[in-house]
Amino acid sequence: MIRNEYTVFAPSGSEQKMIEFVKEKLSAKFEKIRVDALGNLICSSGDGGLCIECGMDTCGIMMVEIDKHKSRFAGAGGINAEYLIDKKIEFKDGNFGFARYDGDDASKSKICDLYLEGDSEPLKIGDFGVVASEFSEDSNKIYGNSIGNRVGLSVVSQALEACGKIENLTVIFSAQKRTKARGIQAFFAANEFDRVITIDGAECSGAIKTGKGSFLVVADKIGTAPKEFVDEISKKADKNGVRLEKAVVGQDFCIGTIATLGKGTACVAIAVPVNNKNKTIESIEKSDIDECVKLLKILID
């Protein structure tokens, strides 16, 4: 099986395997690496005012009732019930089952209506599971379930690997981002920065389209990025020949959440276009990822 940031087991609330994966890739790049009480992985060098945030979790389930006939589960990270129906669910220790629904209309299903079919005896209440990875790629695109939740981490990792010595930078790989941004709220309430760049996948709608490179989110569902910060990034992108579009999106990129915690900070989001986001199989153009990596690298350097 392919092992990369898109396939590592990391449901919201159980990100330990992703922490190990990221540490293995990037520990040599930073002076300090720690995991806080909520499970955020924080990598830092120097005392600079720039912080980069990306989520490391994906939506999943958590077992709440074990029964040999119909074991029940709750959602972890806002996962959609209809999306789960008949999907193979994998657990950390290798056990698996299938999410089933006995109703007539899947569009009316709720998580509490679903159950797990399979050998659930080895499972325990509180065990986390995810939809089995279906990652694949060709020369132009990557495909898979929930890859839009991980593409921010992929962009950050590639940009950091392409940089030389890391100075005056903090990177937070946030835990439980898909569960009401719990990791983000805990971290930024206790840590202050002059500027924050948050990175995530964005549903293709409105201004967001694939094949156009990187997108700078100037306003999302809750917050607005400072014009001075947006202009600074735009000028650097133009100077270095990076394709960059500006967009206002209905998705919550946590701009407002980050900006209003602690002392308040200048925050902007980089969006990677994702086709069929939150559907069975998502897809992302490799050229869009490449442009986002280039943009982030010049901002770090």
For every residue of 127-177, DSSP letters joined together read -EEEEPP--EE-SSEEEETTGGGTHHHHHHHHHHHHSSS--SEEEEEESST
Contact 176, 57 (CB under 8 A): yes
Tens digit of each residue's pLDDT (9 = 90 or more) over 84-104 = 999 999 999 889 999 999 999
Q: What is the mean pLDDT of residues 71-89?
A: 95
Q: Mean pLDDT of all residues in the chain? A: 94
Q: What is the model's pLDDT at position 265?
A: 84
Over residues 173-200, the mean pLDDT reads 96
Cα–Cα distance between 19 and 175 in angstroms, integer?
9
* pLDDT attached to residue 47: 81
Give 261's pLDDT tier (boundaries 50, 70, 90): confident
pLDDT exceeds cutoff 80 at 289: yes
The torsion angles phi and psi of 199, rounded to 5 degrees, stand at: -130, 135
Q: pLDDT tens, 116-166?
A: 999 888 999 999 999 999 999 999 999 999 999 999 999 999 999 999 889
When pLDDT is averaged across residues 33-47 and rounded to a whole number, the result is 95
State yes or no: pLDDT of 1 exceeds 60.
no
Mean pLDDT on 18-27: 96
Spatial CB neighbours of 286, under 8 Å, sequence gap ≥ 6: 137, 139, 140, 141, 142
Tokens linked to 118: 């399979």
pLDDT for the residue numbered 2: 64
**DSSP letter at 108?**
G
> Rounded distance, CA 89 to CA 68, Å?
16
How far apart CA 282 and CA 90 sit, in angstroms, is 19
Domains, the chain, ordered by start = 16-58+146-300 (3.40.630.10), 60-131 (2.40.30.40)
Sign of the CA dihedral with 281 first, then 286, 288, and 293 last? positive
What is the pLDDT, as a whole number, of residue 3? 73
Residues 24-29: what's their mean pLDDT? Answer: 94
Query: What is the rounded CA–CA span in Å between residue 99 and residue 83?
Result: 10
Kindly state the tokens that stand for 215: 């997108």
CA gap 129, 279 in Å, rounded: 18
Integer-rounded Cα Rg, in Å, for the chain is 19
Task: Report how far residue 171's alpha carbon sits from residue 160's, in angstroms, rounded to the nearest whole number.
Answer: 10
Rounded mean pLDDT of 3-16?
94
Q: How much is the pLDDT for 120?
A: 85
What is the tens place of the pLDDT at every residue in 202-258? 999 888 999 999 999 999 999 999 999 999 999 999 999 999 999 999 999 999 999
3-state secondary structure of 38: coil
pLDDT confidence of residue 119: 85
Tokens at residue 88, please? Answer: 């193979």
Determine the Cα–Cα distance for residues 245 and 27; give it in Å rounded to an integer: 32
Residues 6+ apart with CB under 8 A from 93: 122
